[in-house]
Structure 1
Amino acid sequence: MNKTIRKASRLIPDRLYLSLLYYKHFHKFPNFNSPQTFNEKLQWLKLYDRRPEYTKMVDKYAVKLYIAEVIGEEYVIPTLGVWDRFEDIDFNKLPDRFVLKCTHDSHSVIICKDKAKLDIESARQKLTSSLSRNFFYYGREWPYKNVPPRIIAEKYMEDAKVRELRDYKIYTFNGKAKFCMINTDRGTDTRADYFDESYNWLDFTWGYSHADVKPEKPANYEKMFELAEKLAKGTATLRVDFYEVNAQVYFGELTFFDASGFDKIIPESYDLKFGSWIKLPDKKG
């Protein structure tokens, strides 16, 4: 989407914009009067569930204080710095390995495993470009609209056993943790497998193929479900991401709208099933 089209799209009212984008992905319009599927209900929630605290919960810097208050500081990945501009970063003060990302969007991540080999110009272009965009306007995910754009540096994390940083994404529905997505081979050929609270594998796909070898159950699996429910209290649906690093749980991020509600869940019966687990709140928007 070029800049002219992107700017013009901002003038389209949220409900009409979401209807058109939903049609693009699913070849049908969402039913806002009586949404049934998970993806339909996400579109409804974008429009009508706009609580001020959601902004803090998706801000990748501000959320750290929230996490420390609700479940404890020991679950927070250490912050190495936060800046308004890329030019303000003093790389001499950063360790050899670290992670850079923007606080106000998704996917603007720079993973540095060796500072001497970091392409600083490429990182500057990527992060500066991200700072100039308001993530809200693509999928109209309201919580992101007023998050201040900044760059944050975090400690580089890696689990010694699997030699990568696996995502454990817990899906909650009205405060109840129902299942987990486990990402493997992140950054190369990302795969996703789904397990219920008893670690039974669930046979559906959602944006990614299954792993060739199903991942082992993490040591803190039940703990992640417990923590997710504490963080999701009072929400209609929330994805709570964790990492397990050398048997210690760390918080990743909070996501209200997985794939912005535009990834197909196959078979569709799961889209309906997950939708049935969401009790919509009173309209706020």
Structure 2
Amino acid sequence: MIKQWLRKNPATFLLVNIYHYFKGKWHIGKYTDEQAITRYYLMKSGQIPDLNNPTKFSEKLQWLKLHDRDPLKVQCADKFLVREYVVKCGYEHLLNTLYGVYETTSQINIDELPDKFVLKATHGSGWNLIVKDKRTINWFLWRLIMRVWLKQNIYWSGREWVYKNPQPRIIAEKYLEDETGELRDYKFYCFNGEPRFMQLEVGRHSGTNTRNFYDMGWKLMPFGKEIPHNSQVDVPRPNAFDEMKLIAKALSKPFSYVRVDLYQVYGKVFFGELTFFPAGGAPDFIPACYDEIVGNYLSLGVKELDAT
């Protein structure tokens, strides 16, 4: 709700982004990675993570921040470069239409873009602008906001190392909308190439967000993440669910953990993004015991342990 309000009030949103920019600059070189991760985890949960013998899902993600340096993850965390990986895996047909790639906001020619489109920063999370009518957008303020995005490096706050040395860019993509009039987001939690469960986002961009989790048989699971699950929301199994499971399995194959985000638009599947540290790896399962349960899926195997 707050995020939606901010996006409707770009002047305030600009100030929030400027604050985060200077907050990130303040963190540069101030703490070691382990100190910064411990502070981040403590701030989010009031707990100190066990980084030596992690058992919780959130703790293992923090451990991976410290020890895993797979260059493929750097590529796949970039919202532009990940397209190359998707093509290599044989799924070029899942990619959304790309209108442009920009290194500066002055390169974005609004007149050349359609009335509806989406702008995304390639080197972070949540930095996007959904444009349903470009005539209603305050482009002066939004260009300032995007300039701040291009100057930010989110690595320093939560030590998500995949963002440490980014090539900041903005991309413009086709606006997608499904048969509900919005865009349901199917987020597959994959462990060692196996999708274990899926997070469904409904109404995320309208401010009426419901977030439920389903197993691979489309059975509602008894937990939430950040917000409680809502058993009163009955969402039918999508027609392309089996296809999406196969896609998630293929795209997640090289990784001990990754979240594969997909969309279904009138029966056609589209690729969204790959996420290695959802919510920065914060311990936000509801109830909290599922942090430990889900942690059992994530095996820190030989590849990761060899990096220590």
Q: Where does residue 292 of structure 2 map in the other structure?
A: 272
TM-score by length of 2: 0.88
* Superimposed CA distance per residue, residues 211-261 of structure 1 (whole angstroms, 9 cap, x where no aligned partner): 452322111111111111111112111000001011000000000011111
How much has 1:115 moved relative to structure 2?
1.8
The count of residues paired between Structure 1 and Structure 2 equals: 284
Distance across 2 between alignment mates of 1:248 and 1:3: 38
Q: Confirm or deny that 1:171 pairs with 2:194.
A: no
Distance across 1 between alignment mates of 2:80 and 2:52: 36
Q: Which residue of 76, 80, 89 maps to 2:108?
A: 89
Give structure 1 stretches of 5+ with no counterpart: none
1:180 to 1:202, Cα distance in 2 relative to 1, 3 A: same
Q: Where does residue 215 of structure 1 map in the other structure?
A: 235
Q: Where does residue 68 of structure 1 map in the other structure?
A: 87
Provide the secondary structure at the position in 1 that maps to 2:75. Answer: helix
1:110 to 1:264, Cα distance in 2 relative to 1, 3 A: same
Alignment of 1:82-161 (within 5 A): 82-159=101-178, 161=179
How much has 1:175 moved relative to structure 2?
1.2
Provide the secondary structure at the position in 1 that maps to 2:295. Answer: helix
Q: Confirm or deny that 1:185 pairs with 2:203.
A: yes
- Are the counterparts in 2 of residues 77 and 251 from structure 1 also a CA contact under 8 Å? yes
Distance across 1 between alignment mates of 2:163 and 2:49: 22
1:229 to 1:109, Cα distance in 2 relative to 1, 3 A: same
- Are the counterparts in 2 of residues 193 and 210 from structure 1 also a CA contact under 8 Å? yes
How much has 1:279 moved relative to structure 2?
0.9
How much has 1:5 moved relative to structure 2?
4.8
* Superimposed CA distance per residue, residues 21-65 of structure 1 (whole angstroms, 9 cap, x where no aligned partner): 212222221111110000000000011011111111011111112
Amino acid at match of 2:184: R
Q: Where does residue 282 of structure 1 map in the other structure?
A: 305
- Are the counterparts in 1 of residues 21 and 152 from structure 2 also a CA contact under 8 Å? no
Distance across 1 between alignment mates of 2:250 and 2:282: 27
How much has 1:209 moved relative to structure 2?
3.6
Give structure 2 stretches of 5+ with no counterpart: 1-18
Provide the secondary structure at the position in 1 that maps to 2:263. Answer: strand
- Are the counterparts in 2 of residues 108 and 126 from structure 1 also a CA contact under 8 Å? no
- Are the counterparts in 1 of residues 222 and 229 from structure 2 also a CA contact under 8 Å? no
1:107 to 1:31, Cα distance in 2 relative to 1, 3 A: same
Distance across 2 between alignment mates of 1:71 and 1:272: 35
Would you identify which runs of 4 or more consecutive aligned residues in structure 1 move more than 6 Å? none
Distance across 2 between alignment mates of 1:147 and 1:249: 28
Distance across 2 between alignment mates of 1:7 and 1:114: 34
Q: Which residue of 255, 260, 280 maps to 1:260?
A: 280
Distance across 2 between alignment mates of 1:98 and 1:209: 31
TM-score by length of 1: 0.95
Amino acid at match of 1:186: R
